[in-house]
Structure 1
Amino acid sequence: MSLTLTSDLVAQYQEQVESEASSSLAMNACWKSDPLDMCLRRNKVVECNHIFTHKVENEGRPVTNQKSSGRCWIFACLNVMRIPFMKACNIDEFEFSQAYLFFWDKIERCNYFLNKMVECAKRGEEVEGRLVSFLLHDPISDGGQWDMLVNLITKYGVMPKKCFSESYSAENSMRMNRILQSKLREYTKDLRAVINKGGDDAAVADMLSTQMGEIYRIVSICLGIPPKTFSWEYYDKSKAYHKVGPITPLEFYNEHVKSAYNVEDKLCLVTDPREKNAYGMAYTVDCLGNMVGGRKTIYNNQPVELLMSLSADSIKSGEAVWFGCEVGKRFAGKQGIQDLEIHDYKSAFGVEVNLGLCKADRLVYGESLMTHAMTFTAVTLNESQTAEKWRVENSWGEDRGEKGYLIMTSEWFREFVFEIVVDKKFVPEEVLSVFSQEPIVLPAWDPMGALARKEPVLLQL
């Protein structure tokens, strides 16, 4: 049976809304205001404070800003990495070059995509089939996952931001991405034509090499070419002069950064409560990666309470935590508050919003997915050592929250955090053993792959 919206039925709806004093008041308020500002609970804003029982010794400075790009995963990683590095160098302020890793991710990601298109063609996937259509919809995006960061850093290293600074297209990546997307779709057609005509592997490899030469030119023009070697000069807190280099970025990572923060010692755990995806199992997402021959993106699925416990253990030991979440739900952006009760939708609209489905059903019905990566730097534990609230380092500049830092309740964590990265020393042996499993492959369009498909941030919440 279907419902037809008759004029009588619409009139009934209108009469009901107009007869409600609360709806009329809300309508007047919403006429000139952001609906989320209208729903904001004043008492929740007032009672928030950035005092925590456990906090990393020194947070990174300055507060970083990814601008209009989807590089949060890179920023969050380098924000975590710089804390122990700054301590080792005895310096007050430092940033690693986010643009440097962004450059190599674009190059590697395009090559990965084109090789996947060759693989799909050889295994008989049709262009208009769901898999290839999905991949062609967004051939290159800004997002990424932890294992992709490990691929980049262990192959290319890192460098100070002063040695490879931001460009317009690093901070505003949409135009560059559109150019790359156009070329990748064109290249896909050309590769499939060669394969369909019976071209051998050598012919495909020759075409790939030519295509990647053009990709390299485009990315270089937009982002600049990173230096093969650099020298970094700095004063430490005692005003003593230091110089590192000339040195390659990979040597810099291996010789000066790795001892403070080794990305290969950090493990990614996720929480996916969907009934079909059991805890204690390893998963991956089809065609999700950024480097041919690189490590796979592996999800070790565990209950959310374990993720909270391990995050708290890491912070208590002085180590910040990289994490992925759905940032926009129950979030007061200007105030920097992530709290399930920060907005009173019920009083304003007469219905609940965001929480009408459980976390598992939100994933199933397209209401939830990972959209942003940030960093935990502090936690408050109650008398029973259960986490109550978290301090979050964001990468949207100093204008949000407390000079760029957000506050998150543990109730919000349970609903909207999906993954964390902690050192393997904090992870129980039975959880570590999951990484030895052959991962179950989720389809390319699964929501657990969403963080790696992020578009540039055009409007921050």
Structure 2
Amino acid sequence: MAEISGEQIVGLTKAFYSDPKNLLAQNAATSHDPLDFCIHHGATGQNLHVYTHKVAEVKPMSNQRSSGRCWMFACLNAMRVPFMRKLNIEEFEFSQNHLFFWDKIERSNYFLTSMVEIFKKGEPVEGRLVSFMLTNPVNDGGQWDMLVNLVNKYGVMPKKCFPEAHSSGASRRLNITLTTKLRDYAKALRDMVEKKASDADIEAKIKEQLSEVFRVTSICLGIPPTTFTWEYYDKTKTYQTVGPITPKDFYLEHVKPVFNMDDKVCIVNDPRPKKYEEMYTVEYLGNMVGGQKTLYNNQPIDVLKSTTLKSIQNGEPVWFGCDVGKFSTRKTGMLDIKSVDYELVFGIQSLQLDKAERLLYGESLMTHAMVFTGVGTDGAETETKTTKWRVENSWGEDVGEKGYLVMADDWFSEFVYEVVVDKSYVPAEVLAVLTKEPVVLPPWDPMGSLAHAGSSKL
């Protein structure tokens, strides 16, 4: 293989400076964010925040801050819409810190238990599986079925009854501390497996390790109350109160009747050399021992769009996962392939790979979860052709239009990978796929990336 020669470098430099456009782009991009100069301002006026159907807006706009809790925020943001409608209240948030706390505890136990299973199989520490598991054992990210596990076991509660902590909105230090200890624990468990320790002794060791995890997490996040009393005013300024009540009973009595986690169906679009109308799961992708698996019902992209459209037409928001960093602009809040022109600035063509190829070559994966709250259609009587989508984000009001983004329909096709809709909007033939035995994908498969990546702010 030929090395880069000095003559080649001279030729590259000469060719670069021979084009005045390169100089202009260099002068601009060395002093500012290059993305600013790739934004096609002629396209920014094409996607206005006006929609054929829109879910009622609720306040306040949520903000996950410096954490990867997008999947939790998106779920609780979707959940609060029918809940607030039911109680006739103007502003409300569920406690994200409550689910965050229990996810750290449960995920640590899931990791330790999984490592014991892996070590019993004889997997080497330097092998790909163990290395992958140790890379990020207690990340902030997650998938929909992990939310089902948490809500069904621990319920939900108002944010005012268990508010944010510093480490819930800035989780890096907590995660570093827990990761260090979990790796220590994994080594100790491997030693026990190699010494043929009994299952009872290993279980006792994990309980001892979890006591430290609980202590560290409690110090950083606080401990969620076992019961709470919530006082509030409805829209008529009438005083109301709920409780004392447990978070689980609060979910069962006040939330589940209008937002049942068990009635939601997770549909993905994975066009790699895999079959549609099949079920998939990712090995060791979970957060709760004894909880349900993370399952994907793989369908063509039109199924994701049509079920999301039906949900929004009925006033129900939709949780979804996407690759938020592609062809997106933070200031304008646009997710639009046509709005970013890399060729004009850099002289390179984009989107040379199709959706399946981007997944295969590591060019795209799920990085962020948000909520669909509106949709534009072509205006025909059938209203089956979608043109754009309204998105509620969890990055505060400074992004897009007071926190809302607008997504072009072709961006949906290319970079949305997953939606969660109520089963009432899902065709019978799609629901029938749920009865199939899932194909198991390896732990590092990109369809599990949302649980590992969390969220990437633009």
TM range (shorter): over 0.9
Partners of 2:278 and 2:438 within 8 A in 1 = yes
Structure 2 CA distance, aligned partners of 1:344 and 1:142?
Answer: 33
**How does 1:104-123 map onto structure 2 within 5 Å?**
104-123=102-121
* Per-residue CA distance 1:220-247 (angstroms, 9 max, x = gap): 0010000000000011111111100000
Hey, what does 2:73 align to over in structure 1? 75
The letter of the residue matching 1:43 is G
Structure 1 CA distance, aligned partners of 2:418 and 2:2?
Answer: 41
The structural deviation recorded for 1:8 is: 1.3
Hey, what does 1:326 align to over in structure 2? 323
Structure 2 CA distance, aligned partners of 1:5 and 1:133?
Answer: 34
**How does 1:308-457 map onto structure 2 within 5 Å?**
308-353=305-350, 355-382=351-378, 383=380, 385-454=384-453
Hey, what does 1:285 align to over in structure 2? 282
Q: For residue 395 of structure 1, give the secondary structure of its aligned residue in structure 2.
A: coil
The structural deviation recorded for 1:433 is: 1.2
The letter of the residue matching 2:6 is S
- State which of 197, 200, 209 in structure 1 corresponds to 2:198: 200
Structure 2 CA distance, aligned partners of 1:411 and 1:38?
Answer: 22
Partners of 2:283 and 2:443 within 8 A in 1 = yes
Q: For residue 158 of structure 1, give the secondary structure of its aligned residue in structure 2.
A: coil
Partners of 1:22 and 1:347 within 8 A in 2 = no
Structure 2 CA distance, aligned partners of 1:119 and 1:231?
Answer: 42
The letter of the residue matching 2:346 is F
Partners of 1:105 and 1:152 within 8 A in 2 = yes
Hey, what does 1:300 align to over in structure 2? 297
The percent identity for this pair of structures is 56
Structure 1 CA distance, aligned partners of 2:455 and 2:206?
Answer: 27
Q: For residue 337 of structure 2, give the secondary structure of its aligned residue in structure 1.
A: coil
**How does 1:50-129 map onto structure 2 within 5 Å?**
50-56=49-55, 58-129=56-127
The structural deviation recorded for 1:13 is: 1.1
Q: For residue 375 of structure 2, give the secondary structure of its aligned residue in structure 1.
A: strand
Unmatched 5+ residue regions in structure 2? none
The structural deviation recorded for 1:285 is: 0.4
* Per-residue CA distance 1:213-270 (angstroms, 9 max, x = gap): 1111111001000000000001111111110000000000000111111111011000
The letter of the residue matching 1:135 is M
The structural deviation recorded for 1:350 is: 0.8
Q: For residue 286 of structure 2, give the secondary structure of its aligned residue in structure 1.
A: coil
Partners of 1:228 and 1:249 within 8 A in 2 = yes
TM-score (norm 1): 0.97
Partners of 1:172 and 1:456 within 8 A in 2 = no
Structure 2 CA distance, aligned partners of 1:69 and 1:146?
Answer: 17
Structure 2 CA distance, aligned partners of 1:325 and 1:351?
Answer: 24
Partners of 2:266 and 2:297 within 8 A in 1 = yes
Structure 1 CA distance, aligned partners of 2:454 and 2:414?
Answer: 23
The structural deviation recorded for 1:456 is: 6.7
RMSD: 0.9
Unmatched 5+ residue regions in structure 1? none
Partners of 2:306 and 2:384 within 8 A in 1 = no
Q: For residue 215 of structure 2, give the secondary structure of its aligned residue in structure 1.
A: helix
Q: For residue 44 of structure 2, give the secondary structure of its aligned residue in structure 1.
A: helix
The structural deviation recorded for 1:455 is: 5.1
Hey, what does 1:248 align to over in structure 2? 246
How many residues are treated as equivalent by the alignment? 455
Asked if 1:232 is matched to 2:248, the reply is no
Asked if 1:185 is matched to 2:183, the reply is yes
The structural deviation recorded for 1:33 is: 1.4
The letter of the residue matching 2:188 is D
Structure 1 CA distance, aligned partners of 2:422 and 2:402?
Answer: 28
Structure 2 CA distance, aligned partners of 1:417 and 1:318?
Answer: 21
The structural deviation recorded for 1:17 is: 1.0
